[in-house]
């Protein structure tokens, strides 16, 4: 029988990461997400990429 459901994309999001945040950080994240009309997961992923790229500049 053929597989059903959405086809797998090139960049699968298979990993789940749970984090704890204080109220101040959550409110800032939610406000930013509303303003930019983005999902929390997208904002967090982009922030991690930007932080790692920025810190990598100092390692060189």
pLDDT tens, position by position, for the chain (60 residues)? 667 777 777 778 888 999 999 999 999 999 999 999 999 999 999 999 999 998 888 776
Report yes or no: 50 and 44 within 8 Å, Cβ to Cβ: no
For the chain, what are the domain ranges? 23-59
30 Cβ contact list (under 8 Å, min separation 6): 40
Note whether 40 and 28 are within 8 A (CB): no
pTM of the model: 0.75
Residue 21's pLDDT is what?
97
């Amino acid at each position: 029988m053929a597989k059903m459901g959405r086809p797998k994309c090139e960049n699968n999001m298979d990993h789940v990461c749970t984090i704890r945040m204080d109220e101040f950080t959550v409110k800032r994240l939610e406000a930013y997400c509303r303003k930019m009309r983005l999902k929390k997961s997208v904002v967090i992923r982009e922030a991690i990429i930007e932080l790692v790229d920025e810190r990598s500049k100092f390692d060189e």
